[in-house]
């Protein structure tokens, strides 16, 4: 049944006191796709996943997962989903095998020994089957969590920041598993991330969310092409003056300023670059540096919100979390 809607979100809202973490969200996810929720810290990604996975009651609105209502048919939803949580969720006092065995029993997985073996092999942990999880590295734990999320053959798999805090190589590996299970088993995947390249590499569709609202929804390619082919990053002595000049000269550009940096987006960056440099020099704006690259989802986010996704106030939280992960990894 490729192409039918498997996650249906309608006016889904969650308030914590005065704070609206998820704000009247609407979203459809098709069966068999890898869909990305992309947004900075505190955007409401985890809150959305928690509501979809029945662990948090929505304030209002509704959501169907695998055609079951997440409030009224919790058991049916729980049986149909797998989830890899943002934070650690393994029993570190048990071995890898025992963690999977526990899961297989909870979900009444048929032929569990074979399935556990398969999953351990998929994530390359079969040699560590009987090691206590507390002796695992952060990456190994993450891989085990993914194996566990898939063990009972869910229809929909939620991955909440699956590669946060992992080294690039492990991240690559995890991307490969994700692609493979999607391709081979047809599992629909909803993943959240604030790594642009992750969404770009994995996802067929991306919703960019900020302050609990979807501010843009499309395929990564289209989001990027809507923006323009190339992005010029200027570092100038006077960003305001430079922006004024760009406006006056009616360049077909979009811009946003962060400190002395101005981003110009265009479809013909190569021709534009020298023109803009001389324009700036003529008007007494000093160009300290320019770089040109083909546009990424990161740039899309910048254009939509005027901020880069990484230099958020939430960074403090991020650092703490990474430290926590490091601590956990040692434990």
Partner 1 sequence: MRGVYTIWLRETLRFVRNKSRLVGSMGMPLFFLLFMGTGIGSVIGDSAGGGYTQFMAPGVLGMMLLFGSVFSGLNVVFDKQFGFMKEMLVAPISREAIVLGKALGGATAAMLQAVILLALVYAFGVLEFNVVSLALLIPVMFLISVGFVCVGVAFASKLDDPHGFQLIMNFLIMPLFFLSTAFFPLDNLPPWLKTLSLLDPLTYGVDAMRSILVGQAAFPLWVDVAVLAGFSTLAVLVGARLFKDMKL
* Residue ranges in contact with partner 1 by CB under 8 A: 53-55, 75, 78-79, 81, 83, 85, 87-94, 98, 102-103, 105-108, 148
Q: Does the protein bind ligand ATP through residue 325 (CB under 6 A)?
A: no
Return d(Cα 20, Cα 211) in angstroms, integer. Answer: 8
Q: HEC profile for 187-255?
A: CEEEEEECCHHHHHHHCCEEEEEECCEEEEEECHHHHHHHHCCEEEEEEECCHHHHHHHHHHCCCCCCC
Q: Are 140 and 95 in contact (CB under 8 A)?
A: no
Report the residue number, 13 or 92, with the smaller CB distance to partner 1.
Answer: 92
Q: Does the protein bind Mg ion through residue 86 (CB under 5 A)?
A: yes
Report the residue number, 209 or 223, with the smaller CB distance to Mg ion.
Answer: 209
Q: Which long-range contacts (CB under 8 A, 24 or more apart) does 67-75 make?
A: 67/6
Report the residue number, 94 or 292, with the smaller CB distance to partner 1.
Answer: 94
Q: What is the footprint of ligand ATP within residues 6-25 (CB under 6 A)?
A: 16, 19, 21
Single residue of 41, 74, 88, 170 touching ligand ATP by CB under 6 A: 41
At what angle are helices 112-122 and 138-150 packed, to 10 degrees?
Answer: 140
* DSSP H/E element including 176: helix 168-185
- 188 Cα distance to chain centroid: 15
Q: Does the protein bind ligand ATP through residue 317 (CB under 6 A)?
A: yes
Q: What is the footprint of Mg ion within residues 41-60 (CB under 5 A)?
A: 45-46
Single residue of 13, 59, 74, 86 touching ligand ATP by CB under 6 A: 86
Report the residue number, 41 or 131, with the smaller CB distance to ligand ATP.
Answer: 41
Return d(Cα 88, Cα 330) in angstroms, integer. Answer: 13
Q: What is the footprint of ligand ATP within residues 172-231 (CB under 6 A)?
A: 194
Minimum distance, C-beta of residue 78 to partner 1, in the bound complex (Å) = 4
């Amino acid at each position: 049944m490729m192409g039918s809607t498997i996650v249906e979100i309608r006016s889904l809202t969650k308030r914590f006191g005065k704070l609206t973490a998820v704000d009247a969200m609407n979203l459809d996810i098709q069966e068999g796709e890898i869909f990305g929720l992309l947004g900075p810290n505190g955007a409401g990604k985890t809150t959305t996943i928690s509501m979809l996975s029945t662990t948090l009651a929505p304030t209002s609105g509704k959501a169907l997962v695998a055609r079951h209502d997440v409030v009224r048919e919790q058991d049916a939803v729980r049986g149909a989903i797998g989830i890899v949580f943002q934070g650690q969720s393994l029993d570190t006092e048990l071995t890898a095998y025992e963690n999977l065995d526990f899961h297989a029993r909870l979900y009444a997985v048929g032929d569990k020994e074979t399935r556990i073996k398969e999953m351990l092999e998929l994530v390359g942990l079969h040699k560590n089957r009987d090691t206590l999880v507390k002796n695992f590295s952060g990456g190994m734990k993450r891989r085990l969590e993914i194996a566990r999320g898939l063990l009972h053959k869910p229809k929909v798999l939620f991955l909440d920041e699956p590669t946060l805090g992992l080294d690039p190589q492990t991240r690559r590996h995890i991307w490969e598993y994700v692609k493979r299970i999607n391709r081979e088993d047809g599992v629909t995947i909803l993943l959240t991330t604030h790594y642009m390249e992750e969404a770009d590499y994995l996802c067929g569709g991306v919703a960019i969310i900020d302050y609990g609202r979807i501010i843009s929804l499309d395929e990564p390619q289209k989001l990027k092409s809507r923006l323009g082919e190339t992005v010029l990053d200027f570092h100038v002595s006077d960003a305001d003056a430079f922006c004024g000049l760009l406006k006056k000269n009616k360049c077909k550009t979009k811009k946003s300023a962060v400190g002395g940096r101005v981003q110009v987006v265009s479809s013909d960056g190569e021709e534009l670059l020298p023109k803009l440099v001389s324009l700036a020099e003529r008007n007494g704006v000093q160009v300290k540096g320019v770089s040109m690259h083909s546009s990424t989802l990161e740039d899309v986010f910048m254009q939509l919100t005027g901020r880069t996704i990484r230099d958020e106030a939430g960074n403090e939280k991020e650092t703490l979390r990474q430290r926590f992960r490091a601590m956990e990894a040692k434990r």
